[in-house]
């Protein structure tokens, strides 16, 4: 007969090891996703938060749109007040009617190394974007 006291599930340490291993395996796909997909409308620039919603973008006065989202290098939302005074290399999109910044992504080293990347709408219109590779090519 099988004795229930010899079950590995009774021993807390084995349950913890199993749970930790399972959590690590489930997290692997998230860790493997190293690049974020940026839209073709995303431009590159240097952002400095002055006093939210006031910012400087490429050394020009600009504003964050109501509901603007700033994502850090870990892709988590960042509060604009926590970034005051820092010069951040970013990709950003603007709200079409107001021209205010709507989405901002603080770039990782890997993302910043992808060149060329348009810095003006005119460049974006003249260049070709490959959304799968997240690369731009000058025509």
Q: Which residue has the tokens 């970013």?
A: 90
Give the span between the Cα atoms of 139 and 98, in whole angstroms.
30
Could you read off the pLDDT of 98-115 as tens digits, one per residue? 999 999 999 999 999 999
pLDDT (tens digit, 9 = 90+) per residue, 34-71? 579 999 999 999 999 999 999 999 999 999 999 999 99
Quick one: pLDDT at residue 28? 46
Residue 7 pLDDT: 58
CA distances, 81 to each of 31, 58, 94 (Å): 28, 19, 20
- Are the C-beta atoms of 104 and 47 separated by less than 8 Å? yes
pLDDT top residue among 5 and 68: 68
What pLDDT does 9 receive?
A: 56
CB 92 within 8 Å of CB 45: yes
pLDDT the model gives residue 1:
59
- Average pLDDT, integer, range 130-138: 94
Per-residue confidence (pLDDT) for residue 139, from 0 to 100:
85
Q: Which residues fall within 8 angstroms of residue 93, CB to CB, at 6 or more apart? A: 39, 41, 42, 43, 101, 102, 103
Beta strands in the chain (DSSP E): 43-51, 54-57, 60-71, 87-94, 101-106, 128-130, 135-137
pLDDT at 35: 76
Percentage of the chain beyond pLDDT 90 is 74
């Amino acid at each position: 007969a099988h004795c229930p006291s010899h079950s590995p599930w009774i021993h807390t340490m084995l349950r913890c090891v199993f749970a930790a291993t399972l959590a690590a395996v489930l997290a692997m796909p998230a860790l493997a996703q190293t690049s974020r997909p940026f839209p073709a409308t995303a431009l590159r620039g240097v952002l400095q938060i002055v006093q939210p919603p006031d910012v400087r973008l490429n050394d020009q006065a600009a504003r964050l749109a109501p509901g603007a989202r700033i994502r850090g290098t870990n892709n988590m939302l960042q509060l604009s007040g926590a970034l005051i005074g820092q010069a951040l290399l970013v990709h950003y999109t603007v709200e079409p009617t107001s021209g205010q910044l709507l989405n901002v992504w603080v770039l990782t080293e890997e993302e910043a190394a992808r060149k060329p990347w348009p810095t003006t709408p005119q460049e974006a219109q003249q260049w070709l974007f490959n959304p799968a590779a997240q690369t731009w090519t000058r025509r």
